[in-house]
Every structure is written in structure tokens, then in C-alpha cells.
């Protein structure tokens, strides 16, 4: 018994010391600063929020809020159950679906700024908190994706939260294991793939805990995961149906990946990874080289600090390089470690700078990031919104009773400016009153499974050729490539071209049906009647 008393006393001393640090005036000031920084982030980005979904996935999230159906890609697999249903809850207080999604991104972005400022301030002092807040707030990618209705800002927050809680477990033996387990379970509900990237760090952080603690953490994670997985599977039609639907999409991704032998994509993903990663910190990246081999372990309070960051970063980076890398927002999952490394570098450098030089360096970083964010990313958001708003107004002038719209599938790797078309999901969102088809009708099969290729009044479905459509006077082509499926010499005229979207109008000849495709996959006639 006497041998255990010193250990118990040491434990109490550590706990009292920690509580004293957390309740100190400096800690309270840092907490206030972190909260204010987070609120500033929300307020500043709110001004630049988007009002329309700008991507295919965003529309699918909106559709999922209205009617959750993973089979119909509302949203697409793996389902994003907590993300979509949180937006549904926000709808109960009057937020429209897309605004609810944007509100979650804004809040997640603000929480990220506040948490990274708190963490860096605890490690590096008030200057560290200021630098980290500035880097996270003015990160180009973090800024722009906090204004969109996508999952990426939320992904960045949960990755940072899990990282912080794992660090606490490593550096404080008294830190309970349940907070990280809860964060992991919630992260999976919002963006399931992130659990795969964060699991190695979580497991490594618990490796020195008692097996009972690890078991408790596993149970908590399992219970929270089951709480959203089970209703998601029920809503999808059972585990077999879910596996079938998600398997199609997974095979499509993997078949095109470097890991499956498609080495051409290794270069594509590599360049995209470099560009996307650069967008996280932009002007602050070169400073990371100045962190120093011994400096980071010292300020992190753990000699394994570099290993900690490697386990945090590498799984996601390897996946994006070898399996799949989509929008640049994917990289927000590594925003937290990137900001912490850059902050450590700036603080280490500041020891050899005067106060004026330090302020000047920070201002240069902020100004350069703001210039890029405003001139490139915010401008892109605004141009897309302006284009989609105008095409929405144009299509509103057509009657849904005598007009069809058609579009194709996007070309992988090409931007909106390089391929000026209105994608299927966006078309059905912007013009719900007009029936919209993907043409040729079999194209979605190339992407695996039976995803929707037809929509009307925001209801998506699957149709098969041949189709005869009566009572159609106007055919609007929202993809310029589709002109190649028209019979030779078919009259058409361009009705829209703003560099982002091109649209052509075909006015049907009342005396002859219009056959689309070499095998007549669709036949349109002016004569009244139904569609079959």
C-alpha cells in the first residue's frame, strides 16, 4: 500500500497542475481568443457563401435531404448519413436544404479555426495561437470550401479534432479515451472514408493504454457507428443492397486507379495532389522546412512528434495518390497538421526576428493567401453561380410540357471552362420543371450499376431505350457534344455561351420525328400523346 501512495500523489499532482494551467488567466485569454477567431471565420466567410450547389455531389446531398435514398445516389455511396440528416434537422428550424449544408460547412470551418488556434496557443504561446488562427482562417481551400454545401470543411474539422484528442492521450496519461472514440464515430457518420485515414493514429495513440480502456473505446466507437450505420442500411434496403450499390462505385474508382495498374493516373493524381496541397497554405508552405528536427518534439511535448504527424498525414496522402483523388477539398483532411507544422516553423523563425519583422512576415503570408483566394477561388465560385443563375433563368422560360433537356457525362479531369456543359444533377436542380436526360441513355452504365439517367420535378429515375416522346416542340442540348447525335443538317441554334455552359436549341419539325442516335435510342415528335 505504501508503494502506491507516491503514484497516487503524483497522479493528483499532475491533475491539479493541469487544472491550474487550464484555469490560468493565460489559458482563459487563449480560450476567448480561439472562440473569437472561430466566430470571425464564420462571419467573414458567411459574406461569400454560395447560394446554389456548384457540383454534382452537392446536388445529391440536397436531394438526400429531401428524400434520402442511396440507391438513387441521393446521396451517393457511402451514404453520409449523419451529414444529410443533420441538414434535415436544420430544416426543422426553417433552413432550406442547401443553406443547411452551407451552414454546416461555415460552422465546421469556424470550429477548425478556433480549435487549431487553441492547440497551437497551448503549444507555442499567444503568438502560436495568432499564427495558427491566421493560417487556418486565410487558407485558400479552407476558406472556399467553408462557403460550399459539401462535406470537406466538416472532414477537416473532425480530422483536427481526432488529432487533438489523440495528442492529448499521448501526452497526458490521465486523458480519458472516450472523447476520441466519440469523435471517430461521428466522423464516420459525416464522411465514412475519413475513419480509414484516422484509424491508424487513433489506434497508435491508445497502444500504451490498458486493454480495458482500449476495449471501452472500441465499444463506444462501435455503438456510435451502429447508431448511424443500421438506419442507413435499413433505408437502403438491407446490407446486400447497400453492398451492391456501393460496390459499383468502388469498382469504378479502383479500376481507374494506379493501385489497379493504371499508372497513367499516378501522374494525374500526383500533380493534382501537389496543386491541391499547395492550396492549403500557399505562401506558408516553404516555412515548414524551417521547423527543425528537434524543435517540433520539444514544443509538442513528445519525442515521437514527427511519427505522430506522419501517422496522421500518410494514410490519406497514400490513398489520394494511389486510389482516388477528387476535388481539391479532399485535402482539407490534412489542414490541421499542415497548419500546426507551418505555425511551428513561423514561431521558430520569429525567435530571430524583431516584432516588426514578425508582423510583416505574417502580413505577407495573409495578404498573398487572400489575393489567391479572392482572385481564383472566390472568383470561380462567383462565376459558376452567375452562370448557373443565368442558365436557370433561361430554362425557366421554357415550358415543361413541350420541352426536353439533354446533357452528357463530364469528361474526367476536365474543368468547367474546358468542357462547358451543365451536368445532369445540376440541370435537374436548376430546371426541375423540364424533363432532363443523360444521353446516350446507356452512358451511366459505363460508370457501374444503374444510377439515374432521367429526372423531372427533382425526381430521378432510370429509363431504358428505345423511347418515343410525343408533344415535344423544343429540345435543349446542355452539352455541345450531343450535337453529334443529331441527324445530319438538323437545324439548331446556340442560345447560351458564357464560357462555363453552352446550350443549343433544336426546334422540332412538326412534319417529321427527330431521331437521336444512330439506332434511334430516342424519337421525339411534335404530335400530341404520351411518352413511352
Pairing of strands 459-461, 454-456: antiparallel
- Name the β-bridge partners of 504: 477, 494
- Order of strands, edge to edge, in the sheet holding 403-407? 459-461, 454-456, 436-438, 403-407, 474-477, 502-507, 493-497
- Please state, in angstroms and as integers, the Cα–Cα distance from residue 39 to each residue in 34, 45, 73, 152, 154, following that order: 9, 10, 34, 19, 16
Global pTM reads: 0.91
pLDDT (tens, 9 = 90+) of the chain, 532 residues, equals 334 434 444 444 444 444 445 557 888 899 999 999 999 999 999 999 999 999 989 999 999 999 999 988 899 999 999 999 999 999 999 999 999 999 999 999 999 999 999 999 999 999 999 999 999 999 999 999 999 999 999 999 999 999 999 999 998 888 999 999 999 999 999 999 999 999 999 999 998 888 899 999 999 999 999 999 999 999 999 999 999 888 887 887 888 889 988 888 899 899 999 999 999 999 899 888 888 888 988 888 888 899 999 999 999 999 999 999 989 999 999 999 999 999 999 999 888 888 899 999 999 999 999 999 988 889 989 999 999 999 999 999 999 999 999 998 876 656 666 778 999 999 999 999 999 999 888 776 655 566 788 999 888 888 888 888 899 999 999 999 999 999 888 999 999 999 889 999 999 998 889 998 876 688 899 888 655 4
Q: Are 480 and 504 in contact (CB under 8 A)?
A: yes
**How far is residue 520's CA from residue 282's CA, in Å, rounded to a whole number?**
52
- Predicted confidence at residue 460, as pLDDT, reads 86
pLDDT at residue 4, as a whole number: 41
Extract the C-alpha cell encoding 518: 444512330
The number of C-alpha atoms within 13 Å of 210 and in the hemisphere containing its C-beta is 7
Measured in whole angstroms, the distance separating CA 314 from the mean position of its chain's CA atoms is 19
For every residue of 378-407, DSSP letters joined together read IHHHHHHHHHHHHHHHHHHTS-TTSEEEEE
Give the 3-state secondary structure of residue 433: coil
C-alpha distances (whole Å) from 3 to each of 7, 15, 360, 501 are 8, 20, 56, 77
Q: Are 187 and 148 in contact (CB under 8 A)?
A: no
Amino acid at each position: 500500500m505504501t508503494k502506491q501512495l507516491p503514484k497516487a500523489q503524483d497522479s493528483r499532482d499532475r491533475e491539479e497542475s493541469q487544472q491550474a494551467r487550464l484555469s490560468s488567466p493565460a489559458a482563459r485569454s487563449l480560450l476567448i481568443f480561439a472562440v473569437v477567431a472561430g466566430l470571425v471565420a464564420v462571419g467573414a466567410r458567411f459574406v461569400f457563401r454560395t447560394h446554389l450547389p456548384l457540383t454534382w455531389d452537392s446536388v445529391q446531398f440536397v436531394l438526400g435531404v429531401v428524400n434520402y435514398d442511396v440507391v438513387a445516389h441521393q446521396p451517393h455511396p457511402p451514404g453520409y448519413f449523419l451529414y444529410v440528416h443533420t441538414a434535415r434537422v436544420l430544416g426543422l428550424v426553417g433552413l432550406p436544404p442547401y443553406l443547411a449544408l452551407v451552414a454546416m460547412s461555415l460552422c465546421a470551418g469556424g470550429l477548425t479555426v478556433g480549435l487549431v488556434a487553441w492547440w497551437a496557443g497551448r503549444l507555442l504561446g499567444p503568438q502560436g495561437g495568432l499564427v495558427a488562427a491566421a493560417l487556418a482562417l486565410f487558407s485558400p481551400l479552407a476558406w472556399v470550401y467553408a462557403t460550399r454545401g459539401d462535406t470537406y470543411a466538416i472532414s477537416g474539422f473532425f480530422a483536427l479534432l481526432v488529432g487533438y484528442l489523440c495528442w492529448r492521450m499521448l501526452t497526458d496519461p490521465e486523458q480519458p479515451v472516450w472523447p476520441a472514440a466519440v469523435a471517430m464515430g461521428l466522423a464516420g457518420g459525416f464522411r465514412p472514408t475519413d475513419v480509414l485515414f484516422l484509424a491508424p493514429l487513433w489506434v497508435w495513440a491508445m497502444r500504451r493504454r490498458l486493454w480495458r480502456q482500449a476495449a471501452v473505446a472500441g465499444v463506444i466507437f462501435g455503438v456510435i457507428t451502429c447508431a448511424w450505420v443500421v438506419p442507413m442500411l435499413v433505408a437502403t434496403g438491407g446490407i446486400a443492397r447497400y453492398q451492391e450499390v456501393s460496390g459499383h462505385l468502388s469498382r469504378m474508382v479502383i479500376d481507374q486507379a494506379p493501385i489497379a495498374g493504371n499508372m497513367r493516373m499516378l501522374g494525374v493524381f500526383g500533380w493534382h495532389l501537389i496543386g491541391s496541397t499547395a492550396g492549403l497554405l500557399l505562401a506558408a508552405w516553404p516555412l515548414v522546412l524551417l521547423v527543425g528536427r528537434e524543435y517540433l518534439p520539444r514544443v509538442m511535448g513528445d519525442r515521437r512528434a514527427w511519427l505522430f504527424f506522419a501517422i496522421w498525414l500518410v494514410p490519406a496522402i497514400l490513398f489520394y495518390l494511389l486510389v482516388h483523388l477528387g476535388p481539391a477539398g479532399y485535402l482539407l483532411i490534412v489542414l490541421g497538421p499542415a497548419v500546426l507544422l507551418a505555425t511551428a516553423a513561423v514561431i521558430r523563425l520569429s525567435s530571430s526576428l524583431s516584432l516588426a519583422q514578425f508582423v510583416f512576415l505574417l502580413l505577407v503570408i495573409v495578404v498573398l493567401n487572400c489575393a489567391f483566394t479572392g482572385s481564383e477561388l472566390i472568383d470561380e465560385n462567383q462565376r459558376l453561380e452567375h452562370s448557373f443563375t443565368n442558365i436557370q433563368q433561361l430554362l425557366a422560360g421554357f415550358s415543361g410540357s413541350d420541352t426536353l433537356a439533354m446533357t452528357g457525362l463530364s469528361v474526367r479531369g476536365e474543368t468547367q471552362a474546358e468542357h462547358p456543359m451543365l451536368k445532369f444533377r445540376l440541370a435537374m436542380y436548376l430546371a426541375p420543371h423540364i424533363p432532363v436526360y443523360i444521353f446516350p441513355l446507356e452512358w451511366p452504365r459505363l460508370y457501374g450499376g444503374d444510377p439515374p439517367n432521367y429526372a423531372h420535378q427533382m425526381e430521378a429515375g432510370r429509363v431504358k431505350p428505345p423511347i418515343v416522346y410525343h408533344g415535344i416542340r423544343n429540345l435543349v442540348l446542355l452539352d455541345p457534344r450531343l450535337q453529334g447525335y443529331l441527324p445530319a443538317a438538323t437545324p439548331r441554334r446556340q442560345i447560351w455561351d458564357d464560357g462555363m455552359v453552352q446550350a443549343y436549341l433544336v426546334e422540332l419539325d412538326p412534319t417529321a420525328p427527330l431521331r437521336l442516335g444512330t439506332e434511334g435510342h430516342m424519337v421525339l415528335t411534335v404530335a400530341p400523346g404520351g411518352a413511352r
